[in-house]
Structure 1
Amino acid sequence: GDAMDKDLYDLPPEELEGIPTVCASLREAMEELEADMDFLLQGDVFTRDQIEGYMDLKWEESYAFEHTPHPGEFKMYYSC
């Protein structure tokens, strides 16, 4: 999108709604890619097999990350 000449932190919520954002997690990014990957297939840049192989690897990574305790959780609940 175009550059903005405004402080994004000071914008009211109704103005923020129209501003694109990045995904907050790998899981969210994978869900979005799964829902719309056609743009990557245009022009034969990637094949469906390449994208699905990449997604398989990233789903494993996401699962491992989501099931690993954060150091803060470890300290709070496991420390002696």
Structure 2
Amino acid sequence: MGRSITPVRVKDVTIGEGTPKIIVPITGRTPDELHAQVEALSGQVADVVEWRVDFFGTLEDTASVVAQAHAL
């Protein structure tokens, strides 16, 4: 028997129902790398862009992480 999937809503995108979604992770270790990855997405189709903060080089510096989240 198949498992039931509970849809998840991220802003105006519902994941788990309808057509498959395109979710693109960004994984830069530095603000410059993140900026370059975001710029590379310009003009591309993506339903959700996910920042994989666990790759960020100054993960232990909360202020740095928060500042980068605002910049993104």
Q: TM-score when scaled to structure 2? A: 0.24
Larger radius of gyration: 1
Structure with more helix by fraction? 1
